[in-house]
Amino acid sequence: ALPPAPPRPPVAAGADEIDRVLDRGAFLSGRYLKVYEEILAVKAECGRARLKVIFETGELSTYDNIRRASWLGMLAGADFIKTSTGKVGVNATPANTLLMLEAVRDFRAQTGVQIGVKPAGGIRTSKDAVKFLVLVNETAGEDWLDNHWFRFGASSLLNDLLMQRQKLSTGRYSGPDYVTVD
């Protein structure tokens, strides 16, 4: 029997978006050039695929670090910046998302390049989502109110949206058997 074929790189397999988690160890120890070069190397492999750099903002500890990571990611070629994988203690918050929105707004003002933002983790209800959408509109502007530039990463939000839709159409909320359990 022939050995299995090596896996195809994601872009060669048709991926249109690549995720890269920021090397927080290097970043937090001040090795910004290493972090920049790693993101740059991944961007070089992306071809036409968009690069999303994920920060784990809850582990970056300070607002200055979140702002610095945002700029570092954008300067290295990120097409999208994301708060978190959703798998750590602190994920998307209005405060850390605000910092990232200010960064993309200011980056576009200085370079003419628009970068997307994706808050992920902790956005569980439709009411939470509306708060973030207001934050986007008031901080970055209407241009970001499009899924090409702003997305939520929140599976529990989908559950709430489905229940809200059911409530609008029938007058009653769905039971837990009609949505996924996270």
Query: Is 87 considered catalytic here?
Result: no
Q: Break the chain down into helix, strand, coil percent, rounded to 5.
A: 50, 10, 40
Establish whether 131 is a catalytic residue: no
Q: If you compute the radius of gyration of the chain from its CA atoms, what whole number of angstroms results?
A: 18
Of 19, 23, 106, 143, which one is the catalytic site residue?
19
Kindly give, in sequence order, each residue whose CB lies less than 8 Å from that of residue 10, ignoring residues fewer than 6 positions away.
Answer: 18, 49
Exactly one of 52, 118, 128, 160 is catalytic; name it.
118
Catalytic pick among 43, 82, 128, 160: 82
Does residue 43 have an active-site annotation? no
* CA neighbor of 35 nearest in space, from 43, 47, 25, 23: 23
Whether 79 and 116 have beta carbons less than 8 Å apart is answered as yes
**Active-site residue list:** 19, 82, 118
